[in-house]
Amino acid sequence: MNEFDRSEFSELERGTSGLSMADLRLLVELVIPARAGTADPEPAELAGFLAGVLTRDRPDWADRVARLASEADTAYGLRQHPDGDWLADLLWSGYYASPRSWPSVSWHPDPVGGWGDPVADAPIPVTPPSGLAGYYDTVIVGTGAGGGAASEILAASGRRVLIVELGGQPDHAATSDPLRNPRATAGLPGPTDPATAGRPRVSEHSGQLRVVLPPDGPYGNNAFAVGGGTRVYGAQAWRFGPDDFTMATRYGVPDGSDLADWPIGYADLEPFYEAAEHRFGVSGDVACDPWVSRSGPLPMPPLPRTRSGDLLAAAAARLGWGTVAPPLLLNSVDRDGRRACVRCPRCVGFGCPVEAKAGTHNTALPAAVAHGATLCTGTTVERLVVENGRVTGVALAAERDGRIWRGTVGTGEVVLAAGAIETARLLLLSDVGTVHGQVGRRLQGHVYSGALGVFAEPVQDLAGPGVSVGTCDFRHGNDGFIGGGMLADDFVPTPQLSYAYLTGAGLLDRFAGDLPAQMASLAPRMLRVVGPIQEVTSAQSRVSLDPAVTDRFGNAVARLSGSIHEEDRRIQRRQSERAAEWLAEAGAVRVAVAAEFPPGVPSSGMHQAGTCRMGTDPSRSVTDPWGRVWGHDNVRVVDGSLHVTNGGVNPVLTILAGALRIAADMTGR
């Protein structure tokens, strides 16, 4: 955490909120009373943290805090105030992001065996937008899972490839902030967020519209950077199974849903799953997944199980459930010029300091550039250029030193991989593929099921990444339910996340006078079991263009609207009960199930998918089975937008495999 800085104070005083440092300090003391004789972060430090948040991270919160300061001047008043919980969570987040609080919860950021030799940042060479050629054979939009995977094959085919990415290449230091990363819950922008104020979205919640910024939950953020989500993800690398491609046939289509089968089957994708596992490197042992048949084993053995993983594995055996060592896109041994994982406790949401975690930024993208591709970062594709009904180029926009640069590049083909929300938005902004009104529909993320257990003894050994045992028994075959999902132990939480999970589960009172003592006792004894459920999709859950709000470049922003289906809520409840049962069998003395996903909001976020689904009928899909946008044979989609359904497991391996399949089709290999 940054120490208090005078310039922030002055800026705050000059601002319109009328807040002073004394106001902030008073608010801090209402939530976090000073504890003499401890090493805890002090009120002055936390007031400085709050000042920094309001001046640098979220100036849009200053008025909200000013209202609180004038309306609540006692701890009781703050507790009763509608924004009291929010402020308490923010301040405790600052508290638990401070390294001085970490010993109190038995947490440290280092691997037990040390880091070994440091690994230097290795940014990929880039070309500024002003240095681009006028024409490229292929333009790839986005460098995440789909765009990155396709880039290597397309560049190796001899094409002249331009890869455009709106994010940058944040270094190891930038992607290690415990509060400013996509998994943290404090709402502060991180290095993989697009410039916060310039890229809002509109979220519709039960008919109410709200402008939201990248770190806000309803924004549906993934990661905007070279590597996209794969730069900071948790790297769980599950395959979908045969039933996941035929959900409508297997279960029927419930009223109000738009469930459909994929136009391809598991057998079509199996060779590309195999190729993705070997190209990017997956460790684990999934022999006991009853829903997936494989032509070969994973290329790397699993990491050792954690202490809590041992408890869960033994409990699963007593329950008669099968277990697997979850597949992870990270090296369990040195491989492909990258080091083995050193098991640090900050994996999901963070960059990997030793590059053991495989993302497209340290695998396929540098290979594509080595094959001659041009990478242009900090640049947005704002439109596809259409001439006489055919896409002939891309219109680019970038901001440099406060000035906007614009340019156009001609191309023979476009590969869209901007993520499920931005790919749909780009097609809508360009009016490409929109004839049948399908673009943007069937937005799905992953509703998560799960439970939190507290044990009598410490169970967290801080051995990263933390995910070490899962069960696939409930991916399907749940009588009376549609689909299901896998369940696994969660990643090692940071102290801030432990605080968020415990308060969220109702096991910790954010206004309790002895909260630090409770956290010291609960955090090391806490364990979560979680897993995504397969949503049944609805055409009403969608991305559309907002008619009123525009981004930094004057383009309509994405509006996210719709709702998950009641079936999704039912299976979420069922899976959460199972997670609770598993934790209880493992010895948890207190168990709380995950909150139900609210009605009136679509699910989106990190696992976003489905907005340009593939199919065989142009009136019910956006692309053909090869990702070609209907009516535009030189525009392909290769990202999560294509997913007809999103599986009951994390989606990235399917995105990687799907992109390899389409790139192979494009290059005839």
Ligand X SMILES: Cc1cc2nc3c(=O)[nH]c(=O)nc-3n(C[C@H](O)[C@H](O)[C@H](O)COP(=O)(O)OP(=O)(O)OC[C@H]3O[C@@H](n4cnc5c(N)ncnc54)[C@H](O)[C@@H]3O)c2cc1C
178 vs 602, which CB is nearer to ligand SF4?
A: 178
346 vs 661, which CB is nearer to ligand SF4?
A: 346
- For residues 441 and 444, what is the distance between their CA atoms, to the nearest angstrom? 9
Give the count of residues interacting with ligand X (CB under 6 A). 43
How remote is the C-alpha of 80 from its chain's centroid? 33
344 interacts with, out of ligand X, ligand SF4, none, CB within 5 to 8 A per kind: ligand SF4
Choose which of 655, 657, 662, 666 interacts with ligand X (CB under 6 A).
655
CB of 491 to ligand SF4, least distance (A): 9
Look-up of token digits 């995950």: 594
Choose which of 75, 211, 342, 549 interacts with ligand SF4 (CB under 6 A).
342
Give the count of residues interacting with ligand SF4 (CB under 6 A). 13
Look-up of token digits 């289509």: 253
The answer to the question of residue 348 lying near ligand X (CB under 6 A) is: yes
Show the 3-state SS of 506-571: CCCCCCCCCHHHHHHHHHHHEEEEEEECCCCCCCCCEEEEEEEEECCCCCEEEEEECCCCHHHHHH
Q: Which region among 47-55, 131-139, 346-354, 481-489 touches ligand SF4 (by CB under 6 A)?
A: 346-354
CB of 653 to ligand X, least distance (A): 6
Sign of CA dihedral 185, 191, 196, 201: negative
The answer to the question of residue 165 lying near ligand X (CB under 6 A) is: yes
CB of 556 to ligand X, least distance (A): 13
Look-up of token digits 């992607």: 175
- For residues 445 and 459, what is the distance between their CA atoms, to the nearest angstrom? 30
Choose which of 28, 105, 354, 560 interacts with ligand SF4 (CB under 6 A).
354
520 interacts with, out of ligand SF4, ligand X, none, CB within 5 to 8 A per kind: none
CB of 330 to ligand SF4, least distance (A): 4
The answer to the question of residue 464 lying near ligand SF4 (CB under 6 A) is: yes
343 vs 643, which CB is nearer to ligand SF4?
A: 343
352 vs 656, which CB is nearer to ligand SF4?
A: 352
Choose which of 139, 154, 162, 330 interacts with ligand SF4 (CB under 6 A).
330
Among positions 98-157, residues that touch ligand X (CB under 6 A) are 141-147
- For residues 395 and 434, what is the distance between their CA atoms, to the nearest angstrom? 19
The answer to the question of residue 417 lying near ligand X (CB under 6 A) is: yes
342 interacts with, out of ligand X, ligand SF4, none, CB within 5 to 8 A per kind: ligand SF4
- For residues 315 and 317, what is the distance between their CA atoms, to the nearest angstrom? 5
> How is the beta sheet containing 470-471 ordered, strand by strand?
470-471, 487-489, 526-532, 448-454, 590-593
Choose which of 439, 652, 657, 662 interacts with ligand X (CB under 6 A).
652
The contact mask relative to ligand SF4 for 405-444 (x = CB under 6 A, - = no) is ----------------------------------------
Helix residue spans in 217-265 (DSSP H): 247-251
65 vs 235, which CB is nearer to ligand X?
A: 235
CB-nearest residue to ligand X: 144
- For residues 615 and 627, what is the distance between their CA atoms, to the nearest angstrom? 9
Residues β-bridged to residue 59:
none
Output the CA–CA distances (angstroms, integers) from residue 308 to 91, 469, 488, 531, 589, in the order listed.
30, 9, 11, 17, 14
The answer to the question of residue 235 lying near ligand X (CB under 6 A) is: yes
* 513: CB partners within 8 A, 6+ apart: 33
- For residues 365 and 656, what is the distance between their CA atoms, to the nearest angstrom? 13
Among positions 585-624, residues that touch ligand X (CB under 6 A) are 606-607
Q: Which region among 151-159, 164-172, 314-322, 493-501 touches ligand X (by CB under 6 A)?
A: 164-172
The answer to the question of residue 344 lying near ligand SF4 (CB under 6 A) is: yes
Q: Which region among 157-165, 340-348, 472-480, 613-621 touches ligand SF4 (by CB under 6 A)?
A: 340-348
3-state SS, residue 46 = helix
> Strand 556-561 vs strand 201-205: parallel, antiparallel, or unpaired?
parallel
The answer to the question of residue 650 lying near ligand X (CB under 6 A) is: yes
- For residues 51 and 241, what is the distance between their CA atoms, to the nearest angstrom? 50
Residues β-bridged to residue 489:
529
CA torsion angle 98 102 105 106 (round to 10): 170
Which structure tokens are listed for 274?
């195999």
Q: Around 516, how many Cα atoms within 13 Å sit in the side-chain half-sphere?
A: 20
343 interacts with, out of ligand X, ligand SF4, none, CB within 5 to 8 A per kind: ligand SF4
644 interacts with, out of ligand X, ligand SF4, none, CB within 5 to 8 A per kind: none
426 interacts with, out of ligand SF4, ligand X, none, CB within 5 to 8 A per kind: ligand X
The answer to the question of residue 236 lying near ligand X (CB under 6 A) is: yes
- Helix (H) or strand (E) holding 63, with range, is helix 62-71
Binding site for ligand SF4 (CB under 6 A): 330, 341-344, 347, 350, 352, 354, 356-357, 464-465
Binding site for ligand X (CB under 6 A): 141-147, 164-167, 182-183, 222-225, 228-230, 232-236, 348-349, 380-381, 417-420, 422, 426, 606-607, 639-640, 650-652, 655
